[in-house]
Structure 1
Amino acid sequence: MTTSSTEAAGAKPVLSGFAVSERTAHLRAETALFMRDHVLSLVSHDLRGPLNAIHSWAYVLERKLDANDPNSQRAVTGIRSGVDQQVKLLETIIDATRAGTKSLALAYTTFPLHPLLDETVAEVRSGLARARGVEVAVESQLTTEQASGDRERLAAALWVMLMFGVEASTEGAAVTLAARADATRWYATVTFKPSAAALDDPVLPHLLETFARKQAREPREAKRIAWVFALCKRVAEAHGGSFEQSDMQESETATLALHVPLSATTAA
């Protein structure tokens, strides 16, 4: 994505040819940070399984080979050494990079839910939704309900959900945020009809990175979330809640759902 510098101090950042607020620029950066950590976590996890298997099979192979054959023993030693080097790289580069953001600190406060929705929707509408000609509708059953948690983090999760819906929608389409609460939890659900053309068209304004939009359309292995929703998942789980993503089929209704206790007590 092309990022242009502002021409004067205090001017709004310009991304993909349209101006965005400082808050939107901040949320975009937060989304990218959580996505980076999510990808690093997947790489670390998915590489350790095969490396452990190679290490174990190297010992099996060593017992089968002629102990007096120096070439065979040198080959096995090379295999184990290579595995050890890869594990060290995971620990010193990937795990160390994630160390600073592995734990998600929450600033707890009690706040009304309805204004949180209104503010987040207004931010999305005034930014990418307006530039793309996409409607953002709200179907809320909330009245005076309050929640205890990190208001800023929860707003960021809602923003990502709505923003992706806008990114994936064609001009004139609608993205809907439905919200309700019961005695213990509140529920926020975003629905939209994804379009590959809307996600991929380089002429259209975009806020999410190209690779993130492309990866979100790929089949999900073991029902993992798309990388771009890493912030949503981390924030929900840090509050003792959950985030769910449905499969995305062209022009079929897709769903993103955030479920969070009204009184969060679980820290990341």
Structure 2
Amino acid sequence: MTQLFPPSGLPGTPEPDSARSPAPQASNAQLAGSGSAQPVRSVQEVSTLIEQSAHDLRSSLNAIQSWAYVLDRAFDTTPAPAQRALDGIRSGMQQQLALIEEMEEGVRLLADEAPPRWQQLDLRTLALQAIADRRHAAEARGVLLSPLSADGSAIWSEAATPSSAPGAAADTADAATYRIDGDAMRLAPLLRHLLVHCIWRAPTGGAVSVHLFSEPDYVKLRITESPPLDSQRSASRLTALTDFFGRRPPQGGETPSRQSSALLLTRRMVEMHGAVLSAESDGCDSDKVSVCIAVRFPRHMRLT
């Protein structure tokens, strides 16, 4: 029988409020004294709403988890069909919890109207961290998340870690190849959300890979999706992504294709960085075309 962690509460028991207690909010008087009461208040109210909604969603999932735990413990040897059903329930719950986490961060970032805090950032280091953060999500879906490729060479996480060993200076110079002006509080989530979007789209047994390319005035990030099972879907996806990234309405009065919340956040964060989103194809064979989402980040922001 599969060993499970005990549920956080009895079946149907809501998640304790203390588990996700929001940070103390400043009073209206304090906000008024700051000289920026309305924007701060708006963001705080949105943040509180997000936290409460996420808490409510987690409470329902905890109840389902509790019942799954009880059912699994009810049998000395769980029948194979029941075990598969319980495994599916647990997998679905993990996916939903991950989506709730992404939703919390995404909506909060979209509501944040604070001006960017520009600094020099190593896109290679941030891409490596995004891959490390989302590797568990890829493994849970049975998706291969390939090592980062920088200008055609595979890069492992240790390569971007500062070191006092011989050759560290050369590595620092190499890291400068992928430096851009960015807002760290927004750029790191941008990469995570874009990566998790491609992971969720990949079928079981598929693969997702991340590539960096150094250009004179830009650093290009490209994420290659796993090829769709139906080759004809590649062309329609390329068109839908191109229209979405370019904010172009569909032709002939067609209904716009729905995109994930991760891509909505990505588009907003990319535009804020002065970067350009595009959809590309990888592969010449019509039955093996992979869709790639590319972002060209300018090395230096043009402040107006």
Unaligned ranges ≥5, structure 2: 1-12, 21-57, 62-90, 156-173, 231-235, 246-257
Correspondence 1:95-244 to 2 at 5 A? 105-126=115-136, 128-137=137-146, 138-141=148-151, 143-145=174-176, 146-195=179-228, 220=240, 223-225=243-245, 227-228=259-260, 229-244=263-278
Aligned length: 178
Structure 1 residues 253 and 106, CA, compared in 2 at 3 Å: closer, same or farther?
A: same
How far 1:246 moved relative to its partner? Answer: 4.7
SS at match of 1:119: helix
Q: State the TM-score, normalized to the length of structure 2.
A: 0.47
Post-superposition CA distance 1:229-267 (Å, at most 9, x none): 1222222221221111358x9974111011111122358
- Distance in 1, matches of 2:125 and 2:135, equals 15
Post-superposition CA distance 1:56-84 (Å, at most 9, x none): xxxxxxxxxxxxxxxxxxxxxxxxxxxxx
Partner of 1:42: none
Post-superposition CA distance 1:31-62 (Å, at most 9, x none): 4567xx7xxxxxxxxxxxxxxxxxxxxxxxxx
Unaligned ranges ≥5, structure 1: 38-99, 198-215
For 1:253, which of 275, 287, 290 is the aligned residue?
Answer: 290
Q: What RMSD over aligned residues (CA atoms) do the two structures have, in Å?
A: 4.0
Structure 1 residues 265 and 189, CA, compared in 2 at 3 Å: closer, same or farther?
A: same
Indicate the percent of aligned positions where both proteins have the same amino acid.
18
For 2:301, which of 258, 264, 268 is the aligned residue?
Answer: 264
Structure 1 residues 176 and 221, CA, compared in 2 at 3 Å: closer, same or farther?
A: closer
Structure 1 residues 242 and 222, CA, compared in 2 at 3 Å: closer, same or farther?
A: closer
Task: Give 1:227's aligned amino acid.
Answer: Q
How far 1:9 moved relative to its partner? Answer: 3.9
Post-superposition CA distance 1:187-206 (Å, at most 9, x none): 10001125489xxxxxxxxx
Structure 1 residues 169 and 185, CA, compared in 2 at 3 Å: closer, same or farther?
A: same
Partner of 2:50: none
- Distance in 1, matches of 2:275 and 2:217, equals 11
Structure 1 residues 148 and 222, CA, compared in 2 at 3 Å: closer, same or farther?
A: closer
How far 1:21 moved relative to its partner? Answer: 9.1
Partner of 1:16: 92
Task: Give 2:302's aligned amino acid.
Answer: T
Partner of 1:87: none
SS at match of 2:204: coil
Q: Which has the higher contact order (CA 8 A, sep 6+)?
A: 1
